[in-house]
Amino acid sequence: MNLIEQYLLGQLNEQEAGAVEERLRTDDAFRAEYEAYLQAVDLVRWSGRQALKKRLKSRGQGMALRRKGLLMTGLVLGAALLCFYLWPDGIHIRLPPQLPVEPVLHDTFPQASDTLPLQVQEKSAPALPGKQPRRRDLFAEYYRPFSDDALDGTVRGTDPEPYSYEGFLMLYASGDFRAAALRFDSLPAVTRGNNTVQFLYAQALLHEGQATKALTYFDALRGKSRFRYAQEAEWYGALCLLKTGDRAGAKTRLGAIASVDEHPYRQEASLLMQALR
């Protein structure tokens, strides 16, 4: 470690630091070298500042979204209340047609022998809507946010830098999927290129309802045989298709998953396929 580095890292005692400062005043070459180091330090400071700014920006976007959401909810509620009070005849709710009341049949014999037994015409009841679960229900039934203890940054014993790989993992593990989805764009390019980070980003997107975008990531990742969550990407890709309404596509993928003996989602895929029939 050279003298300038020691000086910048604050590792010199008072006397040594004084000597360095004296040399800086008198030795031009030494001062030029020192200034080059100062520029590197400046770059680090600027980079740190930008990272913090990105973090605040992401927080601000989250706040704005929440505010917008609250505003929209308020507007919808307000409009609903207004309709309720201003609608001329109140709100008409269309009820299903009532079934005809069937005659009560007594267990006793007919009292008059000359009367014909009462013929009850069995009227067929109107067909009730099918009881098959709807697409959204099936998605909600089978979708569980992905988690893996091995990914939890907190078990590593340190508090990582938020825009690092570990920081992103920790944010995802904390369950704040919205924040994780927002933070992805602010990560360094190298981290964004990491398959695990992309996988978790897709998970966060799916959780936030952006199934189409999530699917593009899952599709890219499921083909990577060396990626440790490739099979998980396959399953969640099928769920994305289900969410977007592509039942045929979902069935094809689920069939493929169900046919692999070792697939971790084999059982779920079989059950979901049955439910989709």
Interface residue with other proteins among 8, 12, 17, 256 (CB under 8 A) is 8
Beta carbons within 8 Å of 215's beta carbon, 6+ residues apart: 202, 237, 240, 241, 244
Give the x-and-dash track for 11-30 against other proteins (CB under 8 A).
x-------------------
143 part of the interface to other proteins, by CB under 8 A: no
Q: How far is CA 237 from CA 91, 109, 111, 216, in A?
A: 42, 65, 69, 8
* Alpha-carbon gap, residue 199 to 120, rounded angstroms: 64
159 part of the interface to other proteins, by CB under 8 A: yes
1 part of the interface to other proteins, by CB under 8 A: yes
36 part of the interface to other proteins, by CB under 8 A: yes
- CB of 49 vs other proteins, minimal distance in Å: 6
DSSP string, 22-84: HHHHH-HHHHHHHHHHHHHHHHHHHHHHHHHHHHHHHHHHHHHHHHHHHHHHHHHHHHHHHHH
* Alpha-carbon gap, residue 197 to 238, rounded angstroms: 20
Place of tokens 């049955």: 274
* Alpha-carbon gap, residue 134 to 113, rounded angstroms: 54
56 part of the interface to other proteins, by CB under 8 A: yes
Interface residue with other proteins among 22, 47, 154, 259 (CB under 8 A) is 47
153 part of the interface to other proteins, by CB under 8 A: no
101 part of the interface to other proteins, by CB under 8 A: no
Contact status, residue 234 vs residue 218, Cβ threshold 8 Å? yes
32 part of the interface to other proteins, by CB under 8 A: no
Specify the residue, 40 or 65, whose C-beta has the smaller distance to other proteins: 40
Contact status, residue 219 vs residue 241, Cβ threshold 8 Å? no
Interface residue with other proteins among 32, 128, 189, 248 (CB under 8 A) is 189
**Could you tell me the two tokens for 11?**
């590792």
- CB of 194 vs other proteins, minimal distance in Å: 11
Specify the residue, 167 or 237, whose C-beta has the smaller distance to other proteins: 167
Interface residue with other proteins among 30, 148, 164, 216 (CB under 8 A) is 164
Number of shown-chain residues binding other proteins (CB under 8 A): 43
Residues in touch with other proteins (CB under 8 A)? 1-2, 5-6, 8-11, 36-37, 39-53, 55-57, 59-60, 63, 157-162, 164-165, 188-191
